[in-house]
Structure 1
Amino acid sequence: MMAQWQELLRLDSELQSRVSQLYEGKLPREIRHYLCVVIESQDWDSAADDENKARTCFNALLEYLEEQWNRSIQENNILQGPDFPGIRDYLMKHFQAQPLYLAVILSKCLKEEKKILATASEAQGCGNPALDQKWRMLDNKVNEMKRRTSDLKKEIKSLEDQNENLEFLQETWQIQVKEHVGLAQSQAVVKEKCLKQANIITQTKQILLQQIVNILKLTEEIVATLTDVELPEWKRRQQMACIGSPVDISLDHLQKWFTTVAEELLRVREQLQKLQDQNTKYSSTDNSNLAGPMAEIEKFALSLLRKLVANALVVAKQPAMSSLQQRPLMLKTRVRFSVTVRFLANLPVFKDLLKVKPVFDKDVQEAKTIKGFRHFEFNREECKVLDVDTPDGGLVAEFGHMFLKEKRGRYKGSSETRLGVTEELHIIKFVAEFKHAGLECNLEASSLPVIVISSTNQVLSAWASVMWYNTLSTSEPRNLSLFADPPPLTWQQLSQVLSWQFLSVGKRGLDEDQLAMLRDKIVGDGPDDLVHWSKFSKNEGAWIWIDGILDLVKKHLVDLWRDGCIMGFVSRKRTLTLLQEKQTGTFLLRFSETNKDGAITFSWVEHTNGETHVHAVQPYTKPELSGMCLPDIINLYSLKAETNVTGNPLRYLYPDIHKDTALGRYYKNSPLSATQKIIDGYVKRTNIPVSTFPTPPPSPPREIPFTDMDMDMDTEISMDLDQLLQELYPDFFGPGTSSQSFADYSSSY
């Protein structure tokens, strides 16, 4: 059963906020998090009504803190782990004198948590019916296996009693014969009774053996489903999650099934051994020869357990550097990364049983066939013992202090193909030996292919390779030479992955209109709807531009993007179409199509003298947005006509939302606060974004490639402004002075 707190951690942000509010002003949330196991193991409802029980529960918390602190000292993990002494001091200070108060708080909070989980469960009921039904069917099979195993245990115990009764009856009869007690006819009756009982026992044994076979056949179906269906599906979901897909990659279901099946298989083998022991012990009273069938059944049970255990070791968290958690599978030499493995058969008897060792590029044939293939090694030989190290009690080992260094010399290989650094794929395998209850087997779990870079400049290209590979390669064994001749992606595949990038960074994916614009830019008029690797990632490929926008969103526009304020991917031509029928002052936000580092602009419509004009401001870049956030730029933006400021032309965010309604909650500065706020004796100043004489772009007489529109329009406006400013201000703007100088000059006032 998964810990209640772990279930809460899987909820969406809104429900998690409700949980957080439960503890505000009552108990630090960190205490609930780090002590979740011991908190949920105590009866706080009873403790809330009994001070002695409350004191007992309180002392249990202190003992747990002491154990965890000692463990941190032993593992040399004081700085990285939770502040257990600090938590203990807090509890002592606030609740030592009143443990009943703590019990009341936790009793109420735990009940409210359950209500929130119930709400989430009801909502999930409307989720994926097919998946829910499939998992329900598997649950039913596992529960049926448990029921049958439980019944088997009772019946074998009953058989033991029958054997003992028969043995007692035979021994008593023999004693009576020796002592000449009773008549001959009574002896015949007893002998017949013994024979009849022996036949019943023989038949019972055969029935029990058939029951065991039936249990194992059901188990065989379950094991096949787990290892051949559910586990590969989870691995595929994890693979998609690595490149941004919002799928559930929790291992809770798999761990529950693997654990239960392993436990029941061990019990079946235990009952089979008892049956074999009885067969040997009471062989004198039973003429049946069941040793052969029992050996075959034991062999069958062992093979099922071997298959289950061999697949139970998984990479729960793929390799990732701490600075790029959202972009795993990229490792930089000499930079620390972490990776976590888990053993899904989480039984107490398996604790400390497995010692896992990571091996880099184990059995990788590409190292021998690809020219110039690099070879790496870990900074140190490291093994981890799988231990209970998570709140939900999972058998987990985290390798958190690993980094790679390149070995001198590269394999010459036998191929003429030579891959680039960001196209060379490697794997990390985790190996262990399993020995328990007569079963011995080697375990192995492999990471997804990783790319090893030596410079941060290679991150952009490396992530393109990670996305491309994991979209295409869906099964094992992994094709580590995929980029020797990379297959193309369909636009449907690529568009989904691109949408996931924005969902990961900005909490909102791309809609159909945004994807349509990107399709025109990336695919063009190609009839096959395919995107080739070289066009996407190489040189001036589309990915460089898109990644620049992703970085812009991440650093400066997350809130606006998440809330749908930014239209983003819309061409200038499409902008004209959208705005020309709107009321004056309607504006929209779109990304620059020419700035490779990521920039955003706003376009607005103006209707004067029966004519419609759509204006666009020069795009704002990351350095500019670092000085002033985009909502403030829009709020304070002004137009300057000759020597007068005509005011802010931006009134309604497309389609018709007043800008203060749409953006007001994001404002950090306003003209009013700028004149009133005093800092160290000075009135705070605000740089006011101003544009001068915007020239409305005429309808183009010819088709201009939209990829060049921003650059052409900006250049044209800049030239007109330079000439006009020199005429209006000859003393300040001499030949060679640009409109940018005016912008710099005006911003100082």
Structure 2
Amino acid sequence: MAMWIQAQQLQGEALHQMQALYGQHFPIEVRHYLAQWIECQLWDSVELDNQAEEAKAKRLLDNLVAELQKKAQLQGGEDGFLLKIKLGHYANQLKSTYDRCPLELVRCIKHILHSEQRLVQEATNASTSSGVQAMDSLSQRHQQINQAFEELRLATQETENELRKLQHSQEYFIIQYQENLRIQAQLSSLSSLPPAERTQRETTLQTKRATVEAWLTREASTLQKYRLDLSEQHQKTLSLLRKQQTLILDEELIQWKRRQQLAGNGGPHEGGLDVLQSWCEKLADLIWQNRQQIRRCEHLTQQLPLPGPMEELLSKLNADITDIISALVTSTFIIEKQPPQVLKTQTKFAATVRLLVGGKLNVHMNPPQVKAVIVRAHASISGEILNNNCVMEYHQATGTLSAHFRNMSLKRIKRSDRRGAESVTEEKFTVLFESQFSVGGNELVFHVKTLSLPVVVIVHGSQDNNATATVLWDNAFAEPGRVPFIVPDKVQWPQLCEALDMKYKAEMHSGRGLSEDNMVFLAQKAFTSSSNNPEDFRNMTISWAQFNRESLPGRNFTFWQWFDGVVELMKKHLKPHWNDGAILGFVNKQQAQDMLLSKPNGTFLLRFSDSEIGGITIAWVAENPNKRLVWNLLPYTTKDFSIRSLADRISDLNHLLFLYPDRPKGEVFAKYYTPPLSKAVDGYVKPQIKQVVPEFTNPEPSGGTPTFMDQTASPSVSHPNNFGVYPSMSDTMLDADGDFDLEDTMDVARHVEELLRRPMVNQWTSPPSGT
């Protein structure tokens, strides 16, 4: 409702654009009387390219019709009678129009709501800027484009007016020319008259002929000047059109494509395509009007040839305007929805291509077919795609002409010969979309094609990690106008940090990305450095090999593989805790020790494992019989969290008291604890998994109340561990610096069992049962 209230305040061109959104496909009265209901529905949750979503769209349609009928029934009295009939008619009309294609209703309403939001936002920005401060660069660019369109509209209208004047003048000239021929014929027929009468008539006709011929001579010169002036005006208009088209295609559209590419790394979703389409359609309309004017000038010139350079000038104008419209059409054949950049064979995938000027040039009157093939850059077809042909469809509600490939599948791929260290996950392909269509009644025929973003083809899920690295590097560091798909081998470290931060934020669905301290930690890992100063890394470069070809020192995985493992673990299991600020994560073992030793016993923190991909460990400070130590649990992985959540595991460990620096753990994690088990059903009680660290577990006291360091778990309650083991601590497992080195051991479970002479435990507890 709030959006509709704001939309009704629009003025001028914005109001006109808003009104143009409505029509028979969706009456504006429906928007007005159901404003609140419409704005409360989850239209964006419907995936338009997924036929499985049709049932959801059908429910929305049925609910819309029901709401409209309900609104109609509420109208009473004499004034409400006509409205009642009208709303009832609209309900039937919408039901009839969209019952067989409910997804089109959703597409229509999404387009309307997004367009209204854009118009309101632009109007708000303009108002704020004029009243408070200068408009931001985006608004300035849009204002510049809109002003240029107004200038072009006026110029085109002026040449149209001048062309009509020229046409009228030429028509009158031809009439006078015919009059001169008639006088000439009359003079020729005087020979049959008597001499006296002939002389008198001849004198009159010769005087009249002289007058007409003098007028024709002057008017011919005037017509020639009109034609030359009109030609100059068209040249100026074409120059403005080129400038406007360059601004839209070479700047705005390229920026949109760049945003689309960065969206593959988690950047903001590439909005603004509807705005681009409206600009491209205006361009197409103006170019076509000017082209028709030039052709009419050619026709007038052919109809009345006059001495001069007009034929040559018009030929050049015609060639120039054809080049302009060709560039517009071929550049606006774009990929609206990219195919997945990591593409697995034998797996269904989708893509959407769109012609931004299709509706304006009436291409949809003879819908073109689009074909998709997979190729290496500048190479022949490199594989076979099933369901790779699709006819473009025109959606009247949104005015878009697009082809939705919903069920493509890569049957097989042909790889090139690789050299050196390059792996299959570094080889880049592209999906080529191509089509052919005509405009102006086959007057112009266009063969258009467009390339997708680079695609890495995999055959197994285990290749996804490395393929994603190739895609991320390409999306982040591709340079404008490059040869597909060349990317720099080295980049500045801050550039990579920006790309990693973008990816991390997107996966966490949070504004909390990577801090400067996190970046320093990553730099230390990437460059094997101990520096804590961010400035030391600011001018350093990192190569592709350092990023994801060479293993980290002493490890069997690369920098990217480690980072991606962290992202996957967080995304699947720990996202809420990261967003709560409960996970420090990017802290090494020595840093954790330094941080915790100054804190009370029981203080703990969560950090990512250095030695394991996708692992997170708990470090805490506690008393040893001899001294205070920082202890580290064997890292948890996705497998562990699929059995028991992080919050429940922390709840199980009573010796963990405060999350670093000083937050009681219940304050941070209690809201994520699993609720207690329900009572027994039919005499059976469900057991519960709980984890223990034997060295920090109190047995049932038989007399006094020992502390957790006084005794260990009884062997009678120990069981073989199948759920991720968490070892006790021993001085024999400390390194020379007194740092606990458990996670670096080759076989943790074996060492612990030998040291403690008992197995690790998972403790199963059940409430007393009556059975």
Give the TM-score category using the shorter length. Answer: 0.7 to 0.9
Once the two structures are superposed, residues 9-66 of structure 1 have per-residue CA deviations (whole angstroms, 9 ceiling, x without a partner) of xxxxxxxxx9999436999995599779x99xx9x99998611221232122022124
Please list, as runs of the form range in 1=range in 2, the aligned pairs for 1:316-395 lying within 5 A after superposition: 316-320=336-340, 329-348=341-360, 349-351=362-364, 352-361=366-375, 364-365=378-379, 375-379=382-386, 382-389=388-395, 392-395=398-401
2:198 corresponds in structure 1 to: none
Matched, 1:555 2:555: no
Question: 1:638 Cα shift?
Answer: 1.9
C-alpha distance in structure 1 between counterparts of 2:618 and 2:523, whole Å: 22
What one-letter code is carried by the residue in structure 1 that aligns with 2:444? L
Please state how far the C-alpha of 1:467 moved relative to its aligned partner. 2.0
Q: Equivalences for 1:654-669 in 2 at 5 Å?
A: 654-669=660-675
1:422 counterpart = 2:425: yes
Shift, 1:668, TM fit: 3.5
Q: More deviation in 539-548 or 384-393?
A: 384-393
Contact 1:613 1:696 in 2 (8 A): no
Q: CA deviation at 1:296?
A: 1.4
Question: Cα 1:23–1:441, aligned 2, differ >3 Å: closer, same or farther?
Answer: closer
TM-superposed deviation, 1:459: 1.4
Matches within 5 A, 1:23-102: 23=40, 50-66=83-99, 68=101
Give the aligned partner of residue 287 of structure 2. 265
Deviates more, 1:113-122 or 1:250-259: 113-122
Residue 234 of structure 2 aligns to which amino acid in structure 1?
I
- Sort the Cα spacing of 1:114 and 1:361 in 2 relative to 1 into closer, same or farther, 3 A: closer
The reply on whether 1:405 has 2:405 as its aligned counterpart is no
Give 3-state SS (helix, strand or coil) of 2:438's partner. Answer: strand
* Distance in 2 (alpha carbons) for counterparts of 1:507 and 1:185: 91
Output the CA distance in 1 between the equivalents of 2:457 and 2:427. Answer: 8
1:486-501 paired onto structure 2 within 5 Å = 487-501=489-503
Name the CA distance, whole Å, in 1 between partners of 2:156 and 2:373: 39
| 1:631/1:666 contact within 8 Å kept | yes
Q: Which moved more, 1:231-240 or 1:193-202?
A: 193-202
TM-superposed deviation, 1:464: 1.7
Cα deviation digits, residues 405-440 of structure 1 (max 9, x gap): 337x876x6x86584321222222122234334333
Partners of 1:517 and 1:502 in 2: CA distance: 15
2:263 to 231, 234, 241: 241
CA distance in 1, matches of 2:117, 2:356: 29
Whether 1:510 aligns to 2:514 is yes
Q: In 2, are the aligned partners of 1:313 and 1:445 still within 8 Å (CA)? A: yes
Long gaps (5+) in structure 1 = 6-17, 70-80, 88-105, 321-328, 368-373, 640-648, 725-734
> 1:565 aligns to what SS in structure 2?
coil
Structure 1 residue 564: deviation in Å?
3.2
**Distance in 2 between residues matched to 1:478 and 1:606, nearest whole Å:** 59
Would you say the 8 A contact 1:570–1:591 is kept in 2?
yes
Amino acid at match of 1:62: K
Q: Secondary structure at the match of 1:359?
A: strand
Question: 1:570 matched to which residue of 2?
Answer: 587
Summarize deviations over 1:464-488 as a string: whole Å, max 9, x none.
Answer: 2222333343244545587xxx823
**Alpha-carbon distance in structure 2 between the residues aligned to 1:229 and 1:332:** 34
CA distance in 1, matches of 2:403, 2:503: 29
Aligned residue in 2 for 1:10: none
* Residues 505/747 of structure 1: CA separation in 2 closer, same or farther (3 Å cut): farther
Contact kept, 8 Å, 1:615 with 1:697, in 2: the verdict is no
Q: Which residue is 1:730 aligned to? A: none
What is the match of residue 309 of structure 1?
329
The letter for the 2-side match of 1:511 is S
**Cα offset, 1:233, TM superposition:** 3.1
Q: Aligned pairs, how many?
A: 646
Equivalent residue number for residue 151 of structure 2:
144
The 3 A distance-change label for structure 1 pair 116 and 260 is closer
List aligned pairs for 1:510-529, cutoff 5 A.
510-525=514-529, 529=540
Structure 2 length normalisation: TM-score? 0.70
* Residues 1:586 and 1:714: Cα distance change in structure 2 (over 3 Å): farther
Return 5+ residue gaps in structure 2 as ranges. Answer: 1-16, 23-34, 47-55, 188-200, 531-536, 550-555, 697-727
Alignment partner for residue 650 of structure 2, among 630, 634, 638? 634
Separation in 2, partners of 1:160, 1:417 = 71
> 2: CA distance between counterparts of 1:298 and 1:31?
48
Is 1:297 equivalent to 2:310 in the alignment? no
| Whole-angstrom CA distance in 2 between matches of 1:120 and 1:506 | 30
Instruction: Say whether the 8 Å CA contact 2:617–2:636 is kept in structure 1.
Output: yes
Counterpart for residue 537 of structure 1: 548
* Amino acid paired to 2:87: A
Tell whether the 8 Å contact from 2:548 to 2:560 is kept in structure 1 after alignment: yes
1:599 maps to 615
The 1:460–1:720 alpha-carbon spacing in structure 2 relative to 1, beyond 3 Å, is closer
1:214 aligned residue: 236
In the TM superposition, residue 214 of structure 1 has moved relative to its aligned partner by 0.5
Structure 1 residue aligned with 2:245: 223
What amino acid is the match of 2:743? M
TM-fit CA distance, 1:547: 2.2
* 8 Å contact kept, 1:390–1:396: no
SS of 1:331's partner is: strand
Distance 2:176 2:213 in 1: 9
Check the 8 A contact 1:241/1:249 in 2, yes or no.
Answer: no
Q: Distance in 1 between matches of 2:638 and 2:44?
A: 40
Aligned partner of 1:15 in structure 2 is none
Supply the distance in 1 between the matched residues of 2:490 and 2:135 (Cα, whole angstroms): 31
RMSD: 4.9
Measure, in 2, the Cα distance between the counterparts of 1:153 and 1:33.
50
The separation in 1 between residues aligned to 2:415 and 2:115, in whole angstroms, is 56
Displacement of 1:622: 1.9
User: TM-score, normalization: structure 1?
Assistant: 0.72
Change (3 A) 1:608 1:251: same
SS of residue matched to 1:569:
coil
Tell me, in whole angstroms, the C-alpha distance in 2 between the residues paired with 1:422 and 1:112: 38
Q: Secondary structure at the match of 1:620?
A: coil
Give the counterpart letter for 2:502 in structure 1: W
Letter in 2 for 1:387: E
Deviations 1:494-542 (A, max 9, x none): 2222222222221243221222111111222398733343443345212
Q: Deviations over 1:580-600 (max 9, x none)?
A: 44566554332222222x232
1:213 to 1:599, Cα distance in 2 relative to 1, 3 A: same
Contact 2:489 2:543 in 1 (8 A): yes
Q: Secondary structure at the match of 1:360?
A: strand
Counterpart in 1 of 2:462? Answer: 457
The change in CA–CA distance for 1:418 and 1:431 in structure 2 (over 3 A counts) is farther
Q: How far did residue 690 of structure 1 move?
A: 3.4
Which structure has the larger Rg? 2
Q: Does 1:254 align with 2:266?
A: no
1: CA distance, partners of 2:61 / 2:161: 39
Change (3 A) 1:140 1:636: farther
Contact 1:433–1:442 (CA<8 Å) still a contact in 2? yes
The sequence identity of aligned pairs, in percent, is 24
Report the counterpart of residue 643 of structure 1 in structure 2.
Answer: none
- Whether contact under 8 Å (2:363, 2:437) holds in the other structure is no
Q: Call closer, same or farther: CA 1:255–1:27 in 2, change over 3 Å.
A: closer
Match of 1:155 in 2: 162
Deviation at 1:268, TM superposition (A): 0.4
Query: Which residue number corresponds to residue 275 of structure 1?
Result: 297
* More off after superposition, 499-508 vs 273-282: 273-282
Counterpart CA distance in 2 for 1:585 and 1:21 is 53
Whole-Å separation in 2 of the counterparts to 1:156 and 1:710: 88
